């Protein structure tokens, strides 16, 4: 059985790109494209009762498969986090708070190799958002210790597919610029500058508090892009639980060029340790 449809926002009816579509308790799933469209097949040897639709910033929706008719239009409701309190802090207090979170990295994140399985997808498109190529894979990842900044881990491709779409191979010279290695890196593993106490003077920070987290908006003083990036710190454990920021990717290969990408990272706590749950790069 193949399920096709579109994921949209409930209020505006606008498409929601990169929404996750999956069967709970399994690794079988997909994501919506830039237009919110999706297509997923239920293997004949699997028997699922429900399918879940979720996206950052929206409430998840679970649908009974027996009630689905194609095409399926799914509307997700925006999830608004109410601001609990506004915090006014001195620069010295902000510095101490950020330093505490940084110093607790070896406590909050695994210091030994960690193995987990996941799904990876990458696409390229032209200036009109027409897809040129795609690649996706079911992967097993070995993540290195957070004590070793340059340990990028290893990835085993269990099953994959990909290719160039007909008539699109000569539109642009853009090709895959990221690669599956992205699944092994995050702001904690790489000790990015905006969380480093030694780089504190290069950034401006605004802190608010809600849902038992500190939300830290930050801006690089050298780039006047406003406070468009943030990360969350759990108020009890002082662990980084979520982040959105821009990062430059550079590669030595002549086929690649320097690109600025936006990254969304989300962590999940298991037995007192925080692990990377999802990573979106666009």
pLDDT per residue as tens digits for the range 180-209: 666 677 899 889 999 999 999 999 998 888
Q: Which residue has the higher pLDDT, 74 or 68?
A: 74
Residue 93 reports pLDDT greater than 70: yes
Q: Please tell me the pTM assigned to this model.
A: 0.65
Spatial separation of the C-alpha atoms in residues 96 and 200, rounded to whole Å: 10
Outline where 6-113 has alpha helix (H): 91-103, 105-108
Q: Select from 2.70.150.10, 2.60.40.1120, 3.40.309.10, 1.20.120.530 the CATH code of 2-76.
A: 2.60.40.1120
- Using alpha carbons only, give the angle 221, 228, 124 rounded to the nearest 5 degrees: 115
Residue 223: CB atoms within 10 A of its CB come to: 8
With a cut of 70, say whether residue 137 has pLDDT above it.
yes
Q: Is 195 left (phi over 0), alpha (psi -120 to 50) or beta?
A: alpha
Q: What is the pLDDT of residue 177?
A: 46
Query: Tell me, what's the pLDDT at 176?
Result: 46
254 has pLDDT over 50:
no
Contacts of 185 (CB under 8 A, 6+ apart): 152, 153
Return mean pLDDT, the chain: 81
- Check residue 258 and give its pLDDT: 47
Q: What percent of the chain has pLDDT over 90?
A: 31
What was the pLDDT predicted at 236? 94
Report the range of poorest mean pLDDT among 1-5, 34-38, 131-135: 131-135
Who contacts 35 (Cβ-Cβ below 8 Å, separation ≥6)? 6, 15, 17, 129
Helix (H, G, I), strand (E, B) or coil at 193: helix
pLDDT at 112: 86
- Percentage of residues of the chain with pLDDT beyond 70: 81
CATH 2.60.40.1120 in the chain: give the residue spans. 2-76
Query: Which neighbouring-strand residues pair with 85?
Result: 209
């Amino acid at each position: 059985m193949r399920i096709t449809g579109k994921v949209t926002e409930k209020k505006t009816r606008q498409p929601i790109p990169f929404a996750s579509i999956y069967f709970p308790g399994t690794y079988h799933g997909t994501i919506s494209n830039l237009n919110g469209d999706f297509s997923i097949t239920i293997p004949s040897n699997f028997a699922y009762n429900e399918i879940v639709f979720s996206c950052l910033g929206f409430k998840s929706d679970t649908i009974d498969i027996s009630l689905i008719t194609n095409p399926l239009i799914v509307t997700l409701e925006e999830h608004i986090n109410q601001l609990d309190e506004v915090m006014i802090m001195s620069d010295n207090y902000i510095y101490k708070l950020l330093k505490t979170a940084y110093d607790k990295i070896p406590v909050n994140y695994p210091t030994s190799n960690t193995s987990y399985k996941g799904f990876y997808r990458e696409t390229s498109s032209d200036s009109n958002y027409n897809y040129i190529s795609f690649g996706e894979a079911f992967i097993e990842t070995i993540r290195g210790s957070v004590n070793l900044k340059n340990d990028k881990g290893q990835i085993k491709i269990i099953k994959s597919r990909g290719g160039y779409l007909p008539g699109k191979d000569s539109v642009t010279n853009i090709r895959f610029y990221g690669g599956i290695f992205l699944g092994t890196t995050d702001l904690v593993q790489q000790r990015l500058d905006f969380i480093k106490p030694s780089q504190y003077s290069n950034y401006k920070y605004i802190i608010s508090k809600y849902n038992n987290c500190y939300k830290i908006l930050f801006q690089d003083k050298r780039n006047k892009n406003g406070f468009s990036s943030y990360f969350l710190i759990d108020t009890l454990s002082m662990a980084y639980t979520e982040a959105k920021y821009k990062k430059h990717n550079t590669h030595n290969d002549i086929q690649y060029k320097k690109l600025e990408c936006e990254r969304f990272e989300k962590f999940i706590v298991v037995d007192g340790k925080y692990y990377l749950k999802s990573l979106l790069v666009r």
